[in-house]
Amino acid sequence: MKAISTETAPAAIGPYSQAMRSGNLLFVSGQLPLDPETGEIVPGGAVEQMRQCLKNIAAIAEGAGTELSRTVKTTILVTDLSGFADINAEYGKAFADPFPARACYEVSALPKGAMVEVEAVIEI
């Protein structure tokens, strides 16, 4: 196993790695919609937050020598599932057919008051 870290994505805010490489798979920790330069949640709503989460995952993937298009599986956590259609549309812009496997859960809260968090497993 090898820890992956890049300055083009937000630093881990706890005792975890941005991602771990194991064999030909990259396990990306849940990414909050943080601007990597400020460490703050991006302005806007859940759609803008989804966009930033995916940007952060893409930056980590690139730091590991792969790319977002090689994503095998994602897990999305949201604090309000009623906005799922808009979040889903934004998510769909990041991927092409065949789409990654995915799960999406509504949770009561996310760190830093985020509305969206996304984790991923990406092939290297």
3-state secondary structure of 28: strand
The active-site residue out of 42, 47, 104, 124 is 104
Q: Which residues contact 31 (CB under 8 A, 6 or more apart)?
A: 9, 10, 53, 56, 57, 60, 117, 118, 119
Q: Token digits for 75?
A: 């897990």
CA distance 29 to 18: 5
Indicate if 104 belongs to the active site: yes
Kindly compute the dihedral angle of the four CA atoms of residues 102, 106, 60, 96, in this order, to the nearest 10 degrees. Answer: 40
Q: Mind telling me the catalytic residues? A: 104
